[in-house]
Structures are given as C-alpha cells and as structure tokens.
Amino acid sequence: MTAPRRVDVLVVGAGPAGLAAAARLAAAGAGRVEVLEREAEPGGVPRHCMHGGFGTWIRPLTGPAYARRLTEAAERAGATVRTRVTALDWAPTGPVLTTVGPGGPETVEARAVVLATGARERPRTARLVPGTRPAGVCTTGELQQAVHLFGQHIGTRAVVVGAADVGYAAAGTVRAAGARVVALVTEHPRAQTGRARAQAARLGHGIPLLTDTTVTELLGHGRLSGVRVRHRDGRTAVLPCDTVVFTGDFVPDQELARRGGLTLDPGTRGPAVGATPHTSRPGVFAAGNVLHAVEPAAAAAREGVRAAGAVLDFLAGAPWPDPGVPVTVEAPLRWIAPNRVTPAGPPARYVLRTEITLPRPTLYVHQGARLLHRERRGTALPDRTLTLTARWHDRVDPDGGEVRVSTG
Amino acid sequence: MTVTADGPLPSTPYDVAIVGAGVVGCAIARELARHPRLRIALVEAQDDVGQGTSKANTAILHTGFDAAPGTLEARLVREGYARLGAYAAETGIPVERVGALLVAWDEEQLAALPRLAEKAERNAYPDTALLGPAELYAREPHLGPGALGALHIPGESIICPWTTTLAYATQAVRAGADLHLNTAVRAATWADGHRLTTSRGTLRARHLVNAAGLHADTLDRALGHEDFTVTPRRGQLLVHDKFARPLVRHILLPVPTALGKGVLVAPTVYGNVLLGPTAEDLDDKRATGSTAEGLAALRDQGRRILPALLDEEVTAVYAGLRAATGQEDYRITAHPGQAYVTVGGIRSTGLTASLAIAAHVAGLLAGTGLDLGPVREPEPVAMPNLGEAFPRPYQRPDLIAADPEYGTLVCHCERVSRGEIRDALAGPIPPRTLAGLRRRTRAGAGRCQGFYCGAAVRELFERGARP
C-alpha cells in the first residue's frame, strides 16, 4: 500500500448526489473535497439521458446539460472532480479507500467519506431469463450510452421489457436510433407511467403494449432472432427482433458498501440509514440512489445536499448517532428508505415500492402489536414512488424492536 | 503466422489438417507445431477457437480419481493433469489448487465413499481422505445442513478453460500452423490424400485429424466409419456473483449413485461460484440454450448444498453440450490406411487430458506414416491473467507506471483496463466478436453485464483502443 494522501471529504461517485454533496461541502468550507468518478466524464446517469425532465420546473434541462451544470457547480465551489479513478476497496479501518487510475494506485485517507455510487438495472442473467446467449441483449443504461454517447448502431427491431418510465425512455432511445420498437412488454396489468405518456407511445408512435406478459426465452445464435413471450392466460408467441432491452428492476451499486462491511438493508440492498445519511461505519455517509433504487436525479441531488449538512456537523464534532430501530415492510411492499428510525432524530420523508398495484392503499405503521400510525395514499403502482410521512416518529419506542410498515 | 476467417483457402496440400479448434484440436495443433517441417492447418467452423464444449464446461482440472480404471481416458487424464498443471504455471493460465469434497447427503452416498477412495487408488491417486461431518463443516462452514461426511481429493483444481485453449492456439500459430476460422467442413473424401470440401472451398491434406467434438461422428461417417454416435448431453450452469466466492472453499462434488450424478458447486478462477451442470440427452447439436426447468432444478439442488448461494445474483447462465458416445472412454482411433486419426468421444475430462491426448495423437499419426521430422520447442507464451488469485494488471503499479492504460478501467465489475482490451485486439488471434473479447479479457462478464461499460467496450472493439 502506498502512503495515504489526505483529504477532508472523499465523495465516491460524480452523479447528482455526489456532485451536489461536493458542491455544498466545498462551498461551506469543509476543506479539501474530492469526488472520485470511475467513468471518463462526470455526471452519472444523466450523462446519457437525452430526454428532458431534469433541472427545475421553470428551467428544464436535458440530462447531459444537467450533468454539466452539477459538475460546474461542484468545481466552482472548489471541489476537485477526478475522473477515471476507481475506488477499489477500504483500508482495514477508518474512512480510508484504495483507488486506481491512470496515475497508478493510491490510498486516500479522508475525515469523512460519502458513498454516492448510484444504482443500475438488473441484467438478463440476474433475471434468470432462459434461452441462448446472442448479441443484441442490453439494459437501458447500455442502450442510452451506445446511442447518445457513441452513436452506435443498435439493430433494427427492439423489444423493450418493462413499461415504467424507464421503459418508455428506452423506447424513445430506440426510436431516436432509427430502429423500430416491436413492443413494450410488462408482467404488470398496465403501464406504470402517466396516462399521457403511455397513450403517446401506443397511439402516437404505434408501439404495442403487451401487459400481463413475461419474456420466457431468448432465441437465436450469434444475433438475437426473437423473444418468446407468455401471457398470464397461458398463450405464447414469438416476437421477432434483433434487440431486447431489459429496463428498470434497479438495484443499488452496493459493491463498495458491501466491501466496507456496511450494514445493508435487506429490502433496498443499499446501506441501511436513518433520517440522516450516517451508515453503520463511522465516518461513512451515503446519499442518492445507492440508498433507494431509483428516485429521480433531483431527489438524489437534494439528498446529496442534506448529506453534506450531516458531514459538516460531523466534521464540527457531532457524535456518530446510534443505529436506531429497523424499519421493515411486509409484502406486497418491497422496500422502504430510510430504513432505520431514531425517535429523537430529525423527520424524514420515506419512499417505498410495491410489488403490485395498490388502489388507494392505507399504510399502517406498527411496532410490535402497537399501531403507531396509519395513512391513506393515492393509488400506488409498481416501480413508482410511494411515500410515507414521519408523523409517527415521536411514538417509536427505542427499545421496542423493529417498526413494520404494511398495507393492512 | 496465419489466421484467416474469410477468402479462399490455400491450394497447396498441408501435411496435416486438424478439424476442430476446440481445446483438443488446438492442443494437437500445438503438439504438431513442435515439428517445424510440418505444414499444419487447424480448421474451425466457428469464428473463434474454443467455441464449442471447450468454452462451456465446469472448468475443472481433474486428477482422474474417478475415471474407469484401465481405460485410455484414465491414463490420459492422469498424464494430462500433470502436463497441464506444469504448462499452466509457465504460461500464466490461472489454476487454483482448491481440492474437491465429494459430499455425502444420505447413507447410500456415505457408503459409496470408501469405494470411491479405492477406485482413486486404482487410478494411481492415493491422496484421498474420508472426512466426518465435524471436519467437513469446519472446512465448509456454509454447507447446508444434513451432510454426513465427505471424501477429500486435494488435487482437484480449477482452471481457466478459455485461456488454455487460446494459449495452445497462439503457440501453434506462432510456430507456423495456419488457423482457418469460419471454415465448416461439409464433405470429406480420401483417395491417396484428404480432400475437405468446406464453406470456404477445398482444403487438401496428406493426414487428417478429426477433433470435431460434437460433430466427430459425422466426419467419421463421411470417411466410412460407423464406430460411434455422438449424443449431445446438455449441461446448464449458473455463474454467481463474486460476492459468493467466500461461501465455498473447495469444489463440492456430488457422489455418483445409481440415481444419477447430481450437481456440483465450484469456485471459478475468476472469483465466481458455479452451480451445475444439468445432464440432458438431446438430439440437437445446437441446443445450447438454458431452460426455465433446468435453472429451477439447479437452484433447488443448490439451495440444499449451499443455501446462502441463492441470495447472490446470477451473473451468467450458459449451457454446454458434452460429446457423449455411450461408452465410458474416449474414442481415439488411428486408421493407417486412410492416414486418418479420429479423436472422438472426448467427454468433460478433455480439457484436463488435452496435452496428453495431443501427444498420444502425434504418436498415432506417426503410425499412419507421418514423418514428424525434427523437434523445435515452440517459444513460450505469456497469457494475460484473468484469475483473481494472481495479480491482475490494475493491481500492478509497475505495469501502470510503464503504461497508464493498465490503470484506466473500462469494465468496472471485472476491473478490466483499456490496456488489456487493446492487447487482446492486437493479439495473434484477435477476437471477432464482443463475446470473443469478453472471453479474452472478461470485459462485460461481470454483474452489470454491460450496463456501465457495454457501449464503451464496444467502442474500443469497433474503432480500436487507441488513446
């Protein structure tokens, strides 16, 4: 190991959360703030989201423009953004990371580390979709980079798996690349996007939406020749195509968190945190979609700013908080974030995900047999944000065991 | 140094043509290339070496402890194990001597262990040891409950099958052999010399070696031999995330019983954990797809062997076809009258035995009238290391200081640098597809399957890896 280089705060990942945290930290005089980014360009996922919807309501931006603004803001505030540098692993103790880049290996010792490593889509293999292993199988992340960053040819006929917002974004990218979207395929009974967007795709662009349908087999040697699909009622069909895009099914990029022995939440699979971004490892904070895969870029950036506040308090001598009581969910809820609660802690806004559509659900918060809270929500769709307030925090018993959120 | 993938084939006859550039065909080409006087053609239907069974197996370097004693396979596996172990060390092919445990889950399997130990002795492998449950669980603390004992075979090892095949082919080509890819043999005739009709025209050779794997029976029949039929036996395998690697220390083998062979759980040299294979007899030699039933059955068995494995992500699923011939031995036969050697029925042990098979086949060719001529040992090759037990380029400050491209990571999950991709693209047998590049470097083979790096890797592949 090389002699460690010292910085005040080391941020891992130059996406919206990491860049926003770095900008705030540097502006607040946290000292030497450094952001490590393993890609060639900073910005994270917005780098390759050509569609709008970034920035503010008043001043909307495309993803790449938003990524540039975040980067400029961080650098203007005095943070250093180092691209093509990979955080490999942790030194045995403390917020110390080993890295490698074109300049060689390094050990970087920080007073605080902010993990902002983001999230990615689960690929075909993790989804256990059977069949052959042809070329032409990708995720939205790969598709968008191929089309928007490199101008690569992606095939002529694509099936898009998943009909949440990201699936529609993938369909837009396929069309932008001059290819045809054969169909959007979703296992759910309806699209998980706004009615206007779903209709624009179906009626405006003539893209069929196959609901209650799963991809059961990939076909073709060398290049994909089609996908076999099965409807819930048992009917099967082959959709001829040379490209299939697996969209959504996001998971946190938790490799570094896991390597560091951070307590992970079994639901989100990201680091377990409470209302504040302190992880189980003192000196290590987490922010953005590594905590909840995935919320919009603006939410990740807001969290980065909040994390910076907690880091500043810590650098000023605030003690590391107790881990708090676990907050868990019951099926059909999939996960909740944050997922620890300290009664005395600041209020949080909880985000959740459901497995199935819940028409106007009531969320119940229990600790043991004790009902702490119930809250009526609007209809919840899979892969869409469902929220819960923190109006029940003061009723949590710190010694009362885990808090459970359910739908009844 | 000649590798072709299109255009017409050379018209002058070769001394030897080898059909099939799998691990066995490549090993034979390498063996024959030690004789500089010979003109050798290695003919392959696919666009790369090692594209059949050689790339889709359990990646184990076998001791041969459970071979049928006295068979040719038993002898060649035993010899090949020693040869390949030494070759791997000098060539940089990753090998880890993790050892295997044959785990008994019921009384019948437990009773079979002493017989297997005795069989191992008859195969000149006496180093086995019977373990009770306490010692077994001390060695494998994540093993599922209910195991009764195990037989330890310390010599069983894991190896990179892909690097092995590529090392053989590289050495053969560097020593002067011609490798003709995309050359499917459609017909073969012999009349005082061999004439192969291929998808790229006619190729002539004085001697012929049939190392066509799954298609060895077809080529054999074209030359008038009805000795065996290859029944493809499909093996589906699941590759688990590197986070699963600490769960298992040995190759966990099933105890073969009358009810079947069961599945294994094995670490790989890349730091993953394999679960499989299935064993399905098929009649389609292209059926290399996985099936929902096959994967579900594997996961059911895996859950019992190593429950925590099921919590980790699957990063790859593949299916290979073994060349089963209905006989518990290889089918290696010399036909001196035709200057022809059949190398058939090379089952899952072929990787281990490859160098011994090659030496054996060279001897048989000499018996068919081939004058091998003098020997000149080929230049050693140094293969890029894909194994996690040995330093990878990103872990070598010396390499990065000399060339920063080795510190510039492109594939983050597998930590593959631009330098390694550039080297693979400039290699003597360059990849022709992204899958070929993945096998040579592991770029894109990790848990994200290209979400982060797929487009960037493709850019390097299509437009070159210049800085």
With b for 16 or more beta-carbon neighbours within 10 A and e for fewer, the A228-263 pattern comes to bbbeeeeeeeebebbbbbbbbbbbbbbbbbeebebe
Instruction: State whether residue B300 is helix, strand or coil.
Output: helix
pLDDT confidence bin for B258, thresholds 50/70/90: low
Q: Do B456 and A145 touch (CB under 8 A)?
A: yes
Interface test with A, best of B290, B395, B453, B460 (most A CBs within 10 A): B290
Write out the two tokens for B28.
């034979």
A137-139, strands of its sheet edge to edge: A137-139, A243-246, A157-161, A180-185, A209-210
Chain B partners of A128 at a C-beta cutoff of 8 Å?
292, 295, 314, 317
| Window 105-144 of B, Cβ < 8 Å to A | none
Is A128–B401 a contact, with Cβ atoms under 8 angstroms apart? Answer: no
Domain identity same for B404 and B458: yes
Q: How many domains does chain B have?
A: 3
Chain-chain contact of B454 with A138 (C-beta, under 8 angstroms): yes
Residues of A with CB under 8 A from a CB of B: 2, 38-40, 84, 86, 88, 100-105, 120-126, 128, 130-133, 135, 138-139, 141-142, 145-146, 149-150, 152, 216-219, 221, 255, 258
Q: What pLDDT was estimated at residue B467?
A: 45
Task: Determine the distance in angstroms separating the CA of B269 from the nearest CA of chain A, rounded to an integer.
Answer: 19
Of the residues B35, B62, B152, B207, which is catalytic?
B62
Percent of chain A with pLDDT over 90: 91
Q: Give the Cα separation of A89 and A402 in Å (integer).
A: 31
B458: chain A residues, CB-CB within 8 Å: 146, 150, 152
Query: Cβ atoms within 10 A of the Cβ of B337, count?
Result: 9
B45 — contact with chain A (CB < 8 Å)?
A: no
Q: Is the pLDDT of residue A21 over 70?
A: yes
What string of DSSP letters covers B22-82? SHHHHHHHHHHTTSTT--EEEE-SSSSTT-SGGGSS--EE---TTS-TTSHHHHHHHHHHH
pLDDT, one tens digit per residue, over A343-377 is 877 778 899 999 999 999 999 999 999 999 999 99
Higher-confidence residue of A194 and B134: namely: B134
- Four-way CATH pick for A5-120+250-321: 3.30.300.30, 3.50.50.60, 3.40.109.10, 3.40.50.300: 3.50.50.60
Cβ(A317)–Cβ(A330) below 8 Å: no
Rounded distance between C-alpha atoms, residue B185 and residue B199, angstroms:
7
Residue A152 and residue B452: Cβ atoms within 8 Å? no
Do B195 and B124 fall within a single domain? no
Q: Residue A210: which of A234, A189, A233 has the closest Cα?
A: A189
- pLDDT tens track for B277-291: 999 999 999 999 999
Pick the residue from chain B with its C-alpha nearest to A47. B452
A237–chain B nearest CA distance, Å: 16
Q: What is the CA radius of gyration of chain A?
A: 22
Report phi then psi at B420, rounded to 5.
-70, -40
| CB-CB under 8 Å, A126 with B315 | yes
Angle, CA of A129, A134 and A139, to the nearest 5°: 60
pLDDT, tens digit, for every residue of A55-97?
Answer: 888 888 999 999 999 999 999 999 999 999 999 999 988 899 9
- Sequence ranges of the domains in chain A: 5-120+250-321, 123-246, 328-406
Both B273 and B290 in one domain: the answer is: yes
Query: What's the CA gap between A54 and B405, in Å, rounded?
Result: 34
Q: What is the pLDDT of residue A2?
A: 62
Q: Which residues pair with B275 in a beta bridge?
A: B238, B265
Residue B45: is its pLDDT beyond 80?
A: yes
**CA closest to A38 among chain B residues:** B409
Tokens found for residue B1: 């140094």
Same domain? B132 vs B201: no
Answer whether B400 touches A (CB < 8 Å). Answer: yes
Inter-chain contact B289–A86, Cβ cutoff 8 Å? no
- Nearest partner of A121 among A172, A165, A155, judged by Cα: A165
Element spanning B280, H or E: strand B280-281
Instruction: State the pLDDT at residue A330.
Output: 97
Could you say which residues from 70 to 109 on chain B have a Cβ atom under 8 Å away from some Cβ of chain A? Answer: none
Contacts of A120 in chain B (CB under 8 A): 448, 451-452
pLDDT tens digit sequence for B179-228: 999 999 999 999 989 999 999 999 999 999 999 999 999 999 999 999 99
Percent of chain A with pLDDT over 70: 100
- Cβ neighbours of A227 in B, within 8 Å: none
Q: Which pLDDT does position A252 carry in this prediction?
A: 98
Same fold, A5-120+250-321 and A123-246: yes
Distance CA(A233)–CA(A235), nearest Å, equals 6
Higher pLDDT, B450 or B262: B450
> Which of B314, B397, B434 is facing A126, going by the closest CB pair?
B314
Q: How many residues does chain B have?
A: 467
Q: Tell me, yes or no, if B193 comes closer than 8 A to chain A by beta carbon.
A: no
Average pLDDT, chain A: 95
- Cα distances (Å, whole numbers) of residue A5 to A2, A96, B341, B398, B420: 9, 10, 64, 19, 28
Q: Are residues B219 and B345 in the same domain?
A: yes
Residues of chain A positioned with their CB less than 8 A from the CB of B317: 125, 128, 130, 133
Q: What is the pLDDT of residue B143?
A: 98
Q: Mean of the per-residue pLDDT values for chain B?
A: 95
How many CB pairs lie under 8 A apart between chains A and B? 119
Do B239 and B131 share a structural domain? Answer: yes
> What pLDDT sits at residue A50?
84
Q: Are residues B253 and B401 in the same domain?
A: no
Structure tokens at A64: 């790449």
Domain presence at residue B137: yes
Query: How far is the C-alpha of B140 from the C-alpha of A181, rounded, in Å?
Result: 49
ipTM of the complex: 0.96
pLDDT tier at A219, thresholds 50, 70, 90: very high
Indicate the burial class of B418 (C-beta count within 10 angstroms; 0-12, 13-18, 19 or more).
buried
- Residue B465 is predicted with a pLDDT of 54
Mean pLDDT of A233-247: 98
> Are the beta carbons of B455 and A102 separated by less than 8 Å?
no
Collapsing DSSP to helix, strand or coil, B278 comes out as coil
Q: Is the pLDDT of residue A5 over 60?
A: yes
Q: Which residue of B has its CA nearest to A223?
A: B433
Indicate the burial class of B39 (C-beta count within 10 angstroms; 0-12, 13-18, 19 or more). middle
Confidence of residue B326 (pLDDT cuts 50, 70, 90): confident
Give the distance from CA A158 to its chain's centroid. 24
Quick one: B215 and B145 in the same domain?
A: no
Within 8 A of B239 by CB-CB distance, chain A residues are: 125
> What CA–CA distances, in Å, run from B174 to B19, B29, B166?
19, 11, 12
Whether residue B251 sits in one domain with residue B238: yes
Q: Is the pLDDT of residue B323 over 90?
A: no
Domain with B282 in it: what CATH number? 3.30.9.10
Residue B316 burial (10 A CB sphere; 0-12, 13-18, 19+): buried
What is the nearest CA distance from B124 to chain A, expressed in angstroms? 40
pLDDT at A188 over 70: yes
Domain identity same for B221 and B193: yes
The pLDDT value recorded for residue A170 is: 97
**Residues 6+ positions from A79 with CB-CB distance below 8 Å:** A11, A22, A23, A25, A26, A33, A34, A35
Task: Give yes or no for a contact between B84 and B164, defined as CB atoms under 8 angstroms apart.
Answer: yes
The reply to whether B207 belongs to the active site is no
A120 vs B290, B292, B448: nearest CB: B448
Does B455 contact A at CB distance below 8 Å?
A: yes
Sort out which chain B residues have CB atoms less than 8 A from A104's CB and list them.
Answer: 397, 400-401, 404, 407
Is the per-residue pLDDT at B244 higher than 60? yes
The Cβ-side half-sphere exposure at B371, using a 13 Å CA radius, reads 3
**Which residue of B298, B406, B448 to mutate against A (max A Cβ within 10 Å)?**
B448
**Nearest C-alpha of chain B: how many angstroms from A8?**
25
Output the pLDDT for position B259.
61
pLDDT tens track for A289-327: 999 999 999 999 999 999 999 999 999 999 999 989 999
Query: Bridge partners of A245?
Result: A138, A160
Establish if B188 belongs to a structural domain: yes
CA distance B229 to chain A (A): 24
**Nearest-by-Cβ selection for B454 from A38, A104, A142:** A142
- CATH number of the domain that residue B347 is part of: 3.50.50.60
User: B143 and B204: one domain?
Assistant: no
CB < 8 Å from A in window 203-242 of B = 239
Interface touch A149/B455, C-beta < 8 Å: yes
* Structure-token match 């295997």, residue found: B100
Contacts with A152 from chain B: Cβ below 8 Å: 455, 458-459, 462
The Cα A99–Cα A265 span in angstroms is 26
Q: Say whether B290 and A131 touch across the interface (CB within 8 A).
A: yes
CB B37 within 8 A of CB B373: yes
Residue ranges making up the domain that contains B440: 393-463
For residue A41, the Cα-to-chain-centroid distance in whole angstroms is: 19
Domain final position from B316, B350, B367: B367
Q: Do A104 and B400 touch (CB under 8 A)?
A: yes
Q: CB-based contact (8 Å) between B286 and chain A?
A: yes
The pLDDT of residue A342 is 87
- Name the residue among B244, B214, B467 with its Cα closest to residue B331: B214
Structure tokens given for B217? 């029976």
Q: Are residues B170 and B292 in the same domain?
A: no
Q: Which DSSP symbol is given to A332?
A: T
Are B407 and A149 within 8 A, CB to CB? no
Where is B295: in which H helix or E strand? helix B292-305
- A123-246 is classed CATH 3.40.50.20: no
With a cut of 90, say whether residue B175 has pLDDT above it: yes
User: In chain B, whose CA is at the least distance from the CA of A154?
Assistant: B455
